[in-house]
Amino acid sequence: MTLTRNAKQVVAAAGPAGVPACQGVDPELFFPEASELRNGLSAAELAALAVCAGCPVVAWCLSRDLAECTVASRVRGVRGGLRQAERRALHVELFGRRPKNGATA
Protein backbone atom coordinates (compact mmCIF):
# COMPACT_ATOMS: atom_id res chain seq x y z
CA MET A 1 0.00 0.00 0.00
CA THR A 2 1.25 3.47 -0.82
CA LEU A 3 0.13 6.07 1.63
CA THR A 4 -0.70 9.43 0.16
CA ARG A 5 -0.08 11.43 3.29
CA ASN A 6 3.26 12.92 4.15
CA ALA A 7 4.14 11.15 7.39
CA LYS A 8 6.19 14.02 8.74
CA GLN A 9 3.33 16.44 8.16
CA VAL A 10 1.01 14.10 9.96
CA VAL A 11 3.05 13.86 13.16
CA ALA A 12 3.82 17.58 13.13
CA ALA A 13 0.22 18.70 12.84
CA ALA A 14 -0.70 21.60 15.10
CA GLY A 15 -3.40 21.55 17.76
CA PRO A 16 -7.06 21.69 16.88
CA ALA A 17 -8.08 24.91 15.18
CA GLY A 18 -11.77 24.19 14.91
CA VAL A 19 -14.65 22.13 16.21
CA PRO A 20 -14.42 18.41 15.42
CA ALA A 21 -17.11 17.35 12.98
CA CYS A 22 -17.87 14.33 15.16
CA GLN A 23 -18.81 16.45 18.14
CA GLY A 24 -22.27 15.30 19.17
CA VAL A 25 -22.21 12.30 16.83
CA ASP A 26 -22.77 8.85 18.35
CA PRO A 27 -19.23 7.54 19.09
CA GLU A 28 -20.31 4.05 18.05
CA LEU A 29 -20.36 5.27 14.46
CA PHE A 30 -16.56 5.43 14.61
CA PHE A 31 -16.12 1.83 15.66
CA PRO A 32 -17.52 -0.12 12.71
CA GLU A 33 -16.42 -3.66 11.99
CA ALA A 34 -12.98 -3.15 10.50
CA SER A 35 -12.29 -4.12 6.91
CA GLU A 36 -8.99 -5.58 5.77
CA LEU A 37 -6.58 -3.24 4.02
CA ARG A 38 -6.78 -5.30 0.81
CA ASN A 39 -10.57 -5.03 0.78
CA GLY A 40 -12.85 -2.14 0.07
CA LEU A 41 -14.43 0.01 2.70
CA SER A 42 -17.56 -1.24 4.38
CA ALA A 43 -20.72 0.84 4.36
CA ALA A 44 -20.30 1.46 8.08
CA GLU A 45 -16.75 2.71 7.60
CA LEU A 46 -17.89 4.96 4.78
CA ALA A 47 -20.51 6.49 7.06
CA ALA A 48 -17.86 7.38 9.65
CA LEU A 49 -15.42 8.60 7.03
CA ALA A 50 -18.10 10.88 5.60
CA VAL A 51 -18.11 12.73 8.93
CA CYS A 52 -14.31 12.97 8.95
CA ALA A 53 -14.39 14.30 5.39
CA GLY A 54 -15.99 17.49 6.63
CA CYS A 55 -13.84 17.86 9.71
CA PRO A 56 -11.63 20.95 10.13
CA VAL A 57 -9.26 19.21 12.55
CA VAL A 58 -8.58 16.02 10.64
CA ALA A 59 -4.78 16.39 10.60
CA TRP A 60 -4.66 17.11 14.33
CA CYS A 61 -6.95 14.16 15.03
CA LEU A 62 -4.81 11.75 13.07
CA SER A 63 -1.62 13.07 14.60
CA ARG A 64 -2.97 12.72 18.13
CA ASP A 65 -4.29 9.25 17.46
CA LEU A 66 -0.94 8.07 16.12
CA ALA A 67 0.91 9.60 19.04
CA GLU A 68 -1.37 8.03 21.64
CA CYS A 69 -1.22 4.50 20.27
CA THR A 70 2.00 2.85 21.34
CA VAL A 71 1.47 -0.21 19.18
CA ALA A 72 -0.40 -0.53 15.92
CA SER A 73 -2.71 -3.17 17.37
CA ARG A 74 -4.18 -0.51 19.67
CA VAL A 75 -5.32 1.53 16.71
CA ARG A 76 -9.07 1.05 16.61
CA GLY A 77 -11.94 2.40 14.60
CA VAL A 78 -12.12 5.34 12.22
CA ARG A 79 -10.16 8.48 13.09
CA GLY A 80 -8.55 11.28 11.22
CA GLY A 81 -10.15 10.41 7.92
CA LEU A 82 -8.73 6.91 7.81
CA ARG A 83 -10.17 3.53 8.57
CA GLN A 84 -8.53 1.25 11.11
CA ALA A 85 -6.54 -0.78 8.60
CA GLU A 86 -5.12 2.35 6.98
CA ARG A 87 -4.11 3.86 10.30
CA ARG A 88 -2.46 0.64 11.41
CA ALA A 89 -0.45 0.59 8.19
CA LEU A 90 0.50 4.24 8.69
CA HIS A 91 1.48 3.56 12.30
CA VAL A 92 3.81 0.78 11.22
CA GLU A 93 5.22 3.00 8.46
CA LEU A 94 5.95 5.75 10.96
CA PHE A 95 7.13 3.80 13.98
CA GLY A 96 7.82 0.30 12.82
CA ARG A 97 6.54 -2.69 14.69
CA ARG A 98 6.94 -2.09 18.40
CA PRO A 99 7.12 -4.98 20.84
CA LYS A 100 4.09 -5.31 23.08
CA ASN A 101 4.33 -4.63 26.83
CA GLY A 102 7.84 -3.24 26.55
CA ALA A 103 9.30 -6.66 25.78
CA THR A 104 12.55 -6.65 23.90
CA ALA A 105 12.73 -8.39 20.58
Q: Which range of residues in 14-22, 34-42, 68-76, 84-92 is near ligand SF4 by CB under 6 A?
A: 14-22
Q: Which is nearer to ligand SF4, 64 or 98 (CB)?
A: 64
Residues of this chain, 65-94, that bind ligand SF4 according to CB under 6 A:
79-81
Contact pick of 20, 42, 94, 95 for ligand SF4 (by CB under 6 A): 20
Q: Which is nearer to ligand SF4, 65 or 104 (CB)?
A: 65
Contact pick of 13, 34, 44, 57 for ligand SF4 (by CB under 6 A): 57
Assess contact for 60 and 14: CB atoms under 8 A: yes
Contact pick of 10, 55, 75, 85 for ligand SF4 (by CB under 6 A): 55
Q: Which of 12, 44, 9 is nearest to 30 (CA)?
A: 44
Per-position DSSP letters for the chain, written without gaps between them: ----S-HHHHHT--S--S--TTTTS-GGGG-PPPPPTTSPPPHHHHHHHHHHHT-TTHHHHHHHHHHH-SSGGG--S-BTTB-HHHHHHHHHHHH--PPGGG---
Contacts with ligand SF4, residue ranges (CB under 6 A):
20-22, 30, 51-52, 55, 57-58, 61, 79-81
